[in-house]
Structure 1
Amino acid sequence: MISNIRLLSILILLHKFKLSQPCNLSRTQPFQYYLCLDVEATCEQGGGFDYKNEIIEFPVLLIESKTFDVPSNNPILSKFCIELTGIPQSTIDISPSFPEVLCKFQEFLHSHQLFYKESCSFLTDGPWDIRDFITKQCKMSKISRPRYFSLPWVDIRTLFAKFYNCRPRNIPNMLAHYGLNFEGHEHSGIDDTKNLAIIAKRLWEDGAVFKANRKLR
């Protein structure tokens, strides 16, 4: 059992990421902000739920619900990225633990006053990031799961399927619905979050309402 997870490296980046073809539609959404989250974790072929996945990448992209763009005043894309190759032992030895990563993330949330008065929701591709990976990681790190990870959130895969009356699709296939290709590398957490934001924008332009549709049991 892993009692204290050491993340190989942590990068806190500010990316000036803007979605293409800005739209001026005005549509009220249940939340003021959405946090696109797509963690990456260790895995083994054939490993089930009991496999002790370790989070190795924790990327978050903040988008505003009025335009579904990244805020231009302070383009916020906080990434806690774990590099799996080319990291010297000295870096591993001084790398932060998962609880330390969460502390930095909570500073990020506080600095932008997120989750105050239910003004923010996570947006994920499926239930796994929060239900499985975050929950197991907190247990392995022997910390309580933060309250904001216990709140209902938006599963864009479910929203997409219900809105377009189709079977649930993965990120590349959701993009294909709009005639788009995946930008970047699949299963790179940061690239996944950017593509989630692109899908969210197209859903928003088509009239989707981003209500919370997932919750922990």
Structure 2
Amino acid sequence: MPAIKAKYILILDFEATCGEGIGNHNQEIIEFPIVVVEIATLKVVDEFHTYVKPTTQILPFCTELTGITQEQVENAPPLSQVLPQAEAFAKKYQHSVFVTCGDWDLKTMLPLQTERENLSRDSVFQQWVNVKVAFNDTMEGARSKQNRAKGMKGMLNALGLELVGRHHSGIDDSRNIAKIAIELIKKGYVFRVNI
């Protein structure tokens, strides 16, 4: 499959139910954000954002970590409605690739929940770039273990960027990851999409 330079990067960072008694296999997506960066201009050109109603209650630990309350998700649509909306949104941006901070969002979380709920998952969600890998490939000295990307906050610090908003808010984290990706592009990293 040939790879071409992406025209857009779609930054995604889910938030999910968490807390005591909720194992990774039982987590549910509760925030679904996508931030679109146009590579030619290095500008954020669009956003998709919604909370997602889980089948379980939001635990206090989860609210403390993410800022997401039960009231915010109570009237939100379920993943079965959000997923087609997010797919349609993403498909507007031809020659794009998702960018995540780690592989959990699209390698683990979305496949587990869609399988559990018997939802079809479009191919648009089946390839992505882990921004930590892009960071390590781009930054001088990041190939040594002590200088590798340790997370979003570490990458922001290494690039001299400020964390804006609330850490572990999906939309705020997506915006911060977008800033990292933009800086990596400025340093010569090329995001590619397989066609």
TM-score by length of 1: 0.71
Deviation of residue 45 (structure 1)? 5.5
- Aligned runs of 1:14-33 on 2, under 5 Å? 30-33=5-8
Distance 1:211 1:45, change over 3 A: farther
Partner in structure 2 of residue 64 of structure 1: 38
SS of residue paired to 2:44:
coil
Deviations 1:130-174 (A, max 9, x none): 011111110122112211112x32111111012114113201110
Partner in structure 2 of residue 128 of structure 1: 104
Partner in structure 2 of residue 81 of structure 1: 51
Deviation of residue 42 (structure 1)? 1.2
Moved more, 124-133 or 175-184: 175-184
Deviations 1:94-151 (A, max 9, x none): 54221101122233234x2x34xxx11101101010011111110122112211112x
SS of residue paired to 1:176:
helix
- Aligned runs of 1:41-56 on 2, under 5 Å? 41-44=16-19, 49=24, 51-56=25-30
Partner Cα separation in structure 1 for residue 76 and residue 37 of structure 2 = 29
Partner in structure 2 of residue 139 of structure 1: 115
Structure ranking higher in strand proportion: 2
Percent identity of paired positions between Structure 1 and Structure 2:
33
Partner Cα separation in structure 1 for residue 161 and residue 7 of structure 2 = 27
Deviations 1:22-73 (A, max 9, x none): xxxxxxx711111000001112359654x311000000001111122123xx
SS of residue paired to 1:108:
helix
Partner Cα separation in structure 2 for residue 182 and residue 160 of structure 1 = 16
Deviation of residue 196 (structure 1)? 0.6
Partner Cα separation in structure 2 for residue 109 and residue 210 of structure 1 = 16
SS of residue paired to 2:88:
helix
Question: Counterpart amino acid of 2:71?
Answer: I
Cα RMSD over matched residues? Answer: 2.4
Structure ranking higher in helix proportion: 2
SS of residue paired to 2:26:
coil
TM-score by length of 2: 0.78
SS of residue paired to 1:144:
coil
Partner in structure 1 of residue 59 of structure 2: none
SS of residue paired to 2:189:
coil
Distance 1:138 1:45, change over 3 A: same
The answer as to whether partners of 1:68 and 1:200 remain within 8 angstroms in 2 is no
| 1:40 has 2:15 as partner | yes
Q: 1:181 aligns with which of 149, 162, 165?
A: 162
Distance 1:46 1:212, change over 3 A: farther
Corresponding pairs, count? 171
> After the TM superposition, which parts of structure 1 deviate over 4 Å for at least 4 consecutive aligned residues?
45-49
Question: Counterpart amino acid of 1:55?
Answer: I
